[in-house]
Structure 1
Amino acid sequence: MAGSSHVVDSSWEQQLNKMAEQLKTFLDKNGKEKSLKKSASIFHQMGLLYEEQSKQDESITKKLSLIRSAALLNAAVTRQPGNEQFKQSLKDFCSDLLKTAGAKILDADLLKIAQEDKEMAENMRKETNESLQQIKTIPYDVTIDEQKVLEAEKIANTKTIQAQITENYKNMMKFVSNECEKIMGNPPCKYSITGMGSLARYEITPYSDFEHIILLEEGAQEKDNYLQVLEYFRWFSVIFQTIIINLQETIIPSVAIPSFKHVTKPGEKEFFDAFTKRGISFDGLMPHACKPPLGRIEKTKKKPWTTELIKPVNEMLTYLDKDEDLKNGYRISDVLMNTCQVYGDEQIYQQFTEGVRNALQSDQPSHHERLMQQLNEDLTNFDAFKSLSALNVDSKCNIKRLVYRTSTLFISALGRLNSIHDGSSFAIIHQLNNNNIIDDETAHLLSYAIAVSCQVRLKVYMEKESQDDYVGEEQLYDVFDNKVFANLMDTVGERSMVDYFAIVHNLQDVLRNEDDLSNFRLNITLTPFDKFRMLYLLQLNVCIISDWESYSQEQPTNTLSEDELWIRYYVANAYYRMHKHKDSLLMLEWLEERDIEDPELKVAVMNNKASCLYMLDRFQEALQFIGRVKSESLNLNLSDSDKYSLRGELAYVSAVCQYGLKEYQLAIDQSVEASKYYARVDQRDVPGKEKIRANCFYHIGLRLYDLGDYDAAINEANKSLQHYEQHNGSVNDKCNCYSLLGRCHLERDDYDEAIQYFQTELDLRLQFVPSEKQDSDEKIQVVRSEIQICHENL
């Protein structure tokens, strides 16, 4: 890759760093802009600086500086669309770029081309919205036959929608490619613009990145003017990227401005472009991305290499067996295996795909080994069961990680393991079925899972008008008001979500437990146990009880399988979550009378029974059961992390029981023990472990307050508050800490400080409690009373 050195102008870098420092003063604690007018001025100045510096840069870094300039100038315009100076700067930049690139048409209007492409995007989005409205939500209580019909309709409709989006998206990119070719003049050789990622899989959205490479005809590298050939397509790519940036849907962090990271201190949030609606753009220039044709331009300390994705066919094929120098957070070999033709010479694209097939066949053993390694990594990183469990403590969920990748990654893996190179997940499933690797029922279930995953992602993006993967709330008033599950269900309905996770969990479970996938036959069915388990994980407690009432009438109770016993445990847990502790206890006691062989279930039943007894104020009995759980847990084959998690949970419940018995010192000791155990738990096993530790610190503070040790109580309350702040504790959790701090200072006659803490608590509660409920809210009444007491004492 020629010309990768950078002419360093320290004064220029100092100016950029100074501007980034100034921008920090306009950001909130989460790195979001507080004043668009002020930040727009900063972006405009930085954009002009990057354009000016590009004149000093050498070949490749010149192009990088211009791309960053385009992004920053567009950011300024979008934040102040009425600012004529900003608009003129952007217009001048586009004109100067064409001169720098040596374009044949110097008066081409890159802003007008972008506007035409934007109109195509808006039409695509309108069509997608209308099509999505036609997909019916499957009611929860339909019959099995009705459900199958509705599922088949959803699969067919989703296939049609994804095909429409893919075709529209390709047409947009063909239009821009054609314009770039006109602007740059006749190409020096034949070439193909080749799409990758979700575009090649027919799973693109109207807000997705354009991941692509530029393939050159074989033999181009032997020409005397090969450097000029490369320069033509590099400038082609810069102009293309500038047009896409002019759509004004490229977030600033995607062009990786070094100054923003340079001025950020450890623990601080970096600048986050929350204003720009993230939509159609190029793949980002961050170290873990870098899949545009210009590739990876800048080296980092940990990844000191560059890549370029403008190459003749055979040179591009060499990336298929490279590894160590291409791990940017993904493997280029993986993304090159599934591509599609977008624009240019079809024959060049066919030569490349033929080369990919030949390379994979000649390297079958090591290729299979790499695929298995990747599959095992994905099974760990995208474990549906653990991800759902984590949502119990998270206020938001990433639907791309939770819903989309938990299915599509593994369908893709099955395709590659069986040498199926069809692009879409639906096509892979169809071919697996034709090859008798999966049966008809499994093909239907997997196709349905893909349809649900695509629909969820499309609906979330279309509703937000942005490639925003999160559903839920950033800050919750109370952990018990967790809306993330409800928001998740709203996308496609309860029935589809339950079945989706039941299908993908079974798929992942089979893949995880299969040692040899070379002669693999996959058959999936959904049992009542599968569905009850997913209802339990999705916290659909009302559905569990409703389904149980009809299901239990059909099942004999004298011969119960292990799955049937687990179903009853889920029912008991649903009663517990619904605060029907007596009903839960009855079911748990019924289970205790059965001969439970599964040690995990036996411990779960006893553990829940201890919690029920505690909730019913039967503290001494609860403590006795905790002792039994400790004894029984020795029979479990647990990892160290799981052992610490269980012991931490038992210590935590013990602490609460000791408090109920007014044994304050014992309660403190148990809370300290719980905190120590959770500190040793792996974050992946218990994502909410730090919030639990914050709870422990808070309860230690409460007990110290009860014992009259106010200084020590203040220390624990501050420790708890700091933990909640760092780990997204709920507003109510933080308010409880402020309340405890206020009460401690009140007892010490520090009335001014007490008022500050109480007022902070009151202000937070008033933000989240509706105005019509504030006068009747017990906690608001209490804090107002405490503020009044402080004023009276003053």
Structure 2
Amino acid sequence: MAGSSHVVDSSWEQELNKMAEQLKTFLDKNGKEKDPEKSASIFHQMGLLYKEQSKQDDSITKKLSLIRSAALLNAAVTRQPGNEQFKQSLRDFCSDLLKTAGAKILDADLLKIAQEVKEMAENMRKETNESLQQVNNIPYDVRIDEQKELEAEKIENIKTIQAQITESYKNMMKFVSNECEKIMGNTPCKYSITGMGSLARCEITPYSDFEHIILLEEGAQEKDNYPQVLEYFRWFSVIFQTIIINLQQTIIPSVSIPSFKHVTKPGEKEFFDAFTKRGISFDGLMPHACKLPLGRMERTNKKPWTTELIKPVNEMLTYLDKDEDLKNGYRISDVLMNTCHVYGDEQIYQQFCEGMRNVLQSDQPSHHERLTQQLNEDLTNFHAFNSLNALGMDSKCNIKRLVYRTSTLFISALGRLNSIDDGSSFAIIDQLNNNNIIDDETAHLLSYAVAVSCQVRLKVYMDKESQDDYVGEEQLYSVFDNKVFANLIDTVGERSMVDYFAIVYKLQDVLRNEDDLMNLRFNITLTPRDKFRMLRLLELNDRVISEWESYSQEQPPNTLSEDELWIRYYVADAYYWMHKYKESLLMWEWLEERDIEDHWLKVEVMYYKALCLYDLDRFQEALQFIGRVKSELHNLNLSDSDKYSLRGHLAFISARCQYALKEYQLAIDQCMEASDYYAHVDQRNEPWKEISRAICFYHIGLCLYELGDYDAAINEVEKSLQHHEQHNGSVNEKCDCYWLLGRCHLERNDYYEALTYFQTELDLRLQFVPNEKQDSDEKIKFARSNIQICQANLELEMMLYWRQVTS
């Protein structure tokens, strides 16, 4: 069917859906391919079908179909590089594309051009890797004066590396642009290819997308041949994008294949291309992306408009204040305010920059209002403190969200608020310093934060040879084995990571608490409290204690400033997470005796004291303190989400205490209350909230098991297991569910079902526990024992059955 000469619209969509359904059989529960060689043939068929259908499409849809065809055919080739049929299909596609585009040079070799670009990219990556290896991590215990010198050195090194990457990246895009111009023939008017995003900020990586627009000379829209002008540059862009796709570093979801969404049922994971090493590509065709010349070509119910980013200068400038095009998942106006010239007529680009400045100056109040609104949204979405807190139960972290954007987003916002044109974060900081908005020390700290954020992103990408933003593990055996912070710290060392988040915390705090951002003047310094806060948040508990031992000897006795109280709070917290409950309790009791004015700190002290009492088996005392914490909650100025989260914690700890006291029904009531509270926590805290609910369901099941209500227990534990599966809960939590399901069925004399659950538990544990530790692992020994009990009972049942049959 895929190779047929003509397919009716509804028929070809049905055929694509059938192929997508077939692909699902080759995916695991996370939507990733189990055997990429098998899925290659499906991508090949889909690619041919899109190519064939393009012949029936209208002008815009035709271009979309061809881009999707290019991505799918390349996906097939990368999965079966020795398949000559696939390679020939890709060669034929490139040749047919040039004919369809009306290219001047019909025998241009788009695959050969892509290979030349790939070699340029490999050289850029090799040079970047060599340069990064020369940037040393700063030792944690370095002297203050030496630390400043090493920080300044790192700033300069990262600036140089970023400048080199930016220049190399631009040269690649100039090369492709020049090739496209030769292929398409003489340009119908002057134009400028203008870069955006991290390229414009001089923070591009060797694996970044190419976000750009095409500016046409002013007056082009008034010519009779303007429709032909637009078509020329649209096909120019399609050929450009095809060359980039031929690098074979474009993941399939970025071209937004509708069939993959149509065949996905609620609760299922959509197909994700984990096979392709993500590298240099175009911005995606998803509705929230489309930062490319062809723009947003497909309407949705919620956003029923299109945006094209091939326009004369003045028409492009209208995007700075067009309401209907204001937001696609990003603000077009924000994207267009940070650009750089890549290829073509630089005078056109300068006209655009001048026009942009004029537009912004003529409407400063509205401009600042939008910037302030966006800044407040970003302060919520990229809140460094909350993001670090939320990582406690997550096995992976997104370094782009957690590290890179938590600093650069806000420095960029400061630049725009102060009408600073230069897009580079380093340049913005220098200008803020020159304008006396920040002092020299603050400029140094902010520049250092940017250097660290760029270094982290570059190192992670270079190590993975892909634009993969995640550090950590796909699956944890236990939340207590979580190495996400250790993996993050490994990228640049303890010293830099601690200082990075300390600086970012102070910067975000200034912006969050400032009412008059237009006249903002501020300075930041790092205090011992900042250091202890970040050491604790990054779970460097041994470092917290060693720092405390040195710090406490240097301080005068009986110091009771707010900073000193908080430092002791971080120390007590570190002791607790090191399972040194007695030492922690002593510190909480010391704090409890102080006259603490901060209600939040007062509540935290009582809450953690209750936790210590629970872990020291003093359950009744723990319950009393939980009651005291609840009575203090009305004094806290918390968001609804934070209130639900805290009340959920309190109810769950109460449930654990009641379970330990064998008050199982009370424990069930408290677990149900905790689950209800967690359900109302803000969606930004997923998967943590859902995993917390899963743990509540498990404990309800455990209580029901103790009460002998095995059917109800099974229902709760199955619900817990479902939540863990959906939200990537730890293996140990899932194994506990399988164990409890096995125990419930064993008590019901359902020996076969019990055996199945115990065997599943054992198999899972054996995957994650090293061979040399398996014989001594208590849970593995217990699982084997349960299996033996089930097998013995099944043998007994069989023996009794045969006795009955033969008697």
TM-score under structure 1 length normalisation:
0.98
Q: Tell me the residue number matched to 2:577.
A: 577
TM-superposition CA deviations, 1:466-497 (whole Å, max 9, x none): 11111111210001111111111011111111
Q: Tell me the residue number matched to 1:462.
A: 462
Q: Offset of 1:105 from its aligned partner?
A: 1.0
Q: Tell me the residue number matched to 2:148.
A: 148
Matched to 1:502, the amino acid is A
Structure 1 moving runs of 4+ over 6 Å:
none
3-state SS, counterpart of residue 215 of structure 1: strand
Q: Tell me the residue number matched to 2:382.
A: 382
3-state SS, counterpart of residue 519 of structure 2: coil
Matched to 1:674, the amino acid is A
Q: Tell me the residue number matched to 2:668.
A: 668
TM-superposition CA deviations, 1:420-469 (whole Å, max 9, x none): 01020000000000010100000000000000100111111111111111
8 Å contact 1:390–1:687 — kept in the other structure?
Answer: no
Matched to 1:573, the amino acid is D
Structure 2 residue 489 is the aligned partner of structure 1 residue 474: no
CA distance in 2, matches of 1:435, 1:627: 53
Gapped runs of 5+ residues in structure 1? 1-6
Question: 1:308-707 residue pairs with structure 2 within 5 A?
Answer: 308-684=308-684, 688-707=688-707
Structure 2 residue 46 is the aligned partner of structure 1 residue 46: yes
8 Å contact 1:641–1:685 — kept in the other structure?
Answer: no
Q: Offset of 1:394 from its aligned partner?
A: 1.0
3-state SS, counterpart of residue 232 of structure 2: helix
Q: Tell me the residue number matched to 2:797.
A: none
Q: Offset of 1:8 from its aligned partner?
A: 6.7
8 Å contact 2:754–2:790 — kept in the other structure?
Answer: yes
8 Å contact 1:648–1:678 — kept in the other structure?
Answer: yes
Q: Offset of 1:675 from its aligned partner?
A: 2.0
Question: 1:67-466 residue pairs with structure 2 within 5 A?
Answer: 67-466=67-466
CA distance in 2, matches of 1:168, 1:745: 64
CA distance in 1, matches of 2:473, 2:238: 38
8 Å contact 1:433–1:439 — kept in the other structure?
Answer: yes
Q: Offset of 1:686 from its aligned partner?
A: 7.6
3-state SS, counterpart of residue 70 of structure 1: helix
Q: Offset of 1:500 from its aligned partner?
A: 0.6
The CA RMSD over aligned residues, in Å, is: 1.3
CA distance in 2, matches of 1:338, 1:727: 37
8 Å contact 1:437–1:520 — kept in the other structure?
Answer: yes
8 Å contact 1:759–1:787 — kept in the other structure?
Answer: yes
Q: Tell me the residue number matched to 1:4.
A: none
CA distance in 2, matches of 1:126, 1:401: 26
Matched to 1:418, the amino acid is N
8 Å contact 1:642–1:685 — kept in the other structure?
Answer: no
CA distance in 2, matches of 1:552, 1:761: 48
Q: Offset of 1:374 from its aligned partner?
A: 0.8
TM-superposition CA deviations, 1:261-319 (whole Å, max 9, x none): 11111211111011011110011100001111111111112111111111111111111
8 Å contact 2:201–2:338 — kept in the other structure?
Answer: yes
Q: Tell me the residue number matched to 2:62.
A: 62
Q: Tell me the residue number matched to 1:3.
A: none
8 Å contact 2:138–2:495 — kept in the other structure?
Answer: yes
CA distance in 2, matches of 1:774, 1:581: 29
3-state SS, counterpart of residue 141 of structure 2: coil
Q: Offset of 1:407 from its aligned partner?
A: 0.5
Matched to 2:412, the amino acid is S
Q: Offset of 1:685 from its aligned partner?
A: 5.9
TM-superposition CA deviations, 1:105-156 (whole Å, max 9, x none): 1111110000000000000000000010011101111111111111111100
Q: Offset of 1:256 from its aligned partner?
A: 0.8
Q: Offset of 1:598 from its aligned partner?
A: 1.2
8 Å contact 1:386–1:685 — kept in the other structure?
Answer: no
3-state SS, counterpart of residue 37 of structure 1: helix
CA distance in 2, matches of 1:707, 1:209: 58
CA distance in 1, matches of 2:570, 2:695: 26
Q: Tell me the residue number matched to 2:805.
A: none
8 Å contact 1:388–1:538 — kept in the other structure?
Answer: yes
TM-superposition CA deviations, 1:143-188 (whole Å, max 9, x none): 1111111111110000000000000000000001111111111111
Q: Tell me the residue number matched to 2:799.
A: none
Q: Tell me the residue number matched to 1:778.
A: 778
CA distance in 1, matches of 2:343, 2:274: 33
Gapped runs of 5+ residues in structure 2? 1-6, 795-807
8 Å contact 1:599–1:636 — kept in the other structure?
Answer: yes
Q: Tell me the residue number matched to 2:729.
A: 729
Matched to 1:540, the amino acid is L
Q: Tell me the residue number matched to 1:759.
A: 759
CA distance in 1, matches of 2:80, 2:120: 24
CA distance in 1, matches of 2:563, 2:716: 44
TM-superposition CA deviations, 1:393-424 (whole Å, max 9, x none): 11111111110111011000000000001020
Q: Tell me the residue number matched to 1:788.
A: 788
Q: Tell me the residue number matched to 1:32.
A: 32
Q: Offset of 1:687 from its aligned partner?
A: 5.6
8 Å contact 2:192–2:344 — kept in the other structure?
Answer: yes
Q: Offset of 1:332 from its aligned partner?
A: 1.1
8 Å contact 2:687–2:727 — kept in the other structure?
Answer: no
3-state SS, counterpart of residue 203 of structure 1: coil
Q: Offset of 1:528 from its aligned partner?
A: 0.6
8 Å contact 2:305–2:324 — kept in the other structure?
Answer: no
TM-superposition CA deviations, 1:574-620 (whole Å, max 9, x none): 01100111111111111122111111111111111111111111112
**Percent pairwise identity:** 87
CA distance in 1, matches of 2:709, 2:464: 50
8 Å contact 1:645–1:686 — kept in the other structure?
Answer: no
CA distance in 2, matches of 1:688, 1:386: 12
CA distance in 1, matches of 2:645, 2:219: 61
8 Å contact 2:256–2:285 — kept in the other structure?
Answer: yes
8 Å contact 1:37–1:79 — kept in the other structure?
Answer: yes
Distance 1:203 1:636, change over 3 A: same
TM-superposition CA deviations, 1:233-276 (whole Å, max 9, x none): 11111111110000000111111111111111121111101101
